Amino acid sequence: MTPPPWKAYLSLCKPKVVALIVFTAVIGMFLAVPGAPPLGNVLYGTLGIALAAASAAAINHYLDRQADAHMARTRRRPLPQGQLNPARVLGFAGLLGATGMYILVTQVNMLTAVLTFLSLIGYAVIYTVYLKRMTPQNIVIGGAAGAAPPVLGWCAVTGEVHPYALLLFLLVFVWTPPHFWALAVAKEEEYARAEIPMLPVTHGAEFTRLHILLYTILLGVVSLLPYATGMSGTLYLAGVVPLDIVFLYFALLLKRTASNAVAMRTFGYSILYLTLVFALLLADHYLRA
């Protein structure tokens, strides 16, 4: 049974991905000020960033529609299934992006709009069109676009890029490789069929699992920087250390077992990890105020 068009268009926006993007952006807004951030900035900033992220996701669907048809994980998406017209999808993406930019320019501030636009182009064009098919380090380089939301949220409230905002950027940036490579290990054959040079395709799963472990160790170090720099206190430290230990456990288990099931469990935990780390940052911020 063919789903109604509105469901197909909604799926283009990758709601789960956009939700995580918006979550980290909103946390950035609240961390930027000692008290409650201005309500208007929060509402308009969240809406503008969400629309831009949805636009980038829809453009990604459009550009990857042929590769998606070769992968079990993505072949049921609306474009490979022929549920939507590609030209209309591109128009839909353009409308979302233009609306998001208009809101950020007129209701938030120009710096947030510019940075959001750059992150949209970074993911939807530079990563999807070039990096994804050019280098096995695609997700590392392209991760800069995905790490931008906390900076965008911070900037939406303050109108500036603070060093602490860059620390949040670094946290997401270092988190991205072990997060995405865990999925890539589990879906190595699919990426190979789609001729996408993900790290396990070009260098093998064992090499990738080693790098997942190394990046997980690096992530553990970076996750301590908010406490080390005075951005966060003991509540954050007490919470993030166990989270790091569990992530390291999964990375070690994946390195030893070479199991796709473990790879997917690692991928799933990585999402929970980032969510809880940002929740800890927020709780610590207001409990210390």
Tens digits of per-residue pLDDT, 243-258? 999 999 999 999 998 8
Instruction: Read off the pLDDT band of 141 (50, 70, 90).
Output: confident
3-state helix, strand, coil in the chain (%, to 5): 80, 0, 20
What confidence category does residue 84 fall into, taking pLDDT thresholds of 50, 70 and 90?
confident
Q: State the virtual CA torsion across 79, 82, 84, 87 in degrees, nearest 10.
A: 70
**27: Cβ–Cβ under 8 A, 6 or more apart, which residues?**
150, 153, 168, 278, 279, 281, 282
Residue 2, pLDDT score? 58
Q: At what angle do helices 149-158 and 110-121 cross, to 10 degrees?
A: 170
Q: Is domain 1-161 in CATH 1.20.1250.20, yes or no?
A: no
73 with 10: CB under 8 angstroms? no
The pLDDT of 71-100, averaged and rounded, is 89
Classify the C-alpha dihedral 222-226-227-232 as positive or negative: negative
* pLDDT value of position 225: 97
pLDDT band at 6 (very low <50, low <70, confident <90, very high): confident
Torsion angle in degrees (nearest 10) through CA of 134, 64, 94, 113: -40
Question: What tokens does 205 get?
Answer: 């799963």
Work out the number of other CB atoms within 10 angstroms of the CB of residue 144: 18
Between residues 168 and 11, the one the model is more confident about: 168
Distance CA 24, CA 169 (A): 10
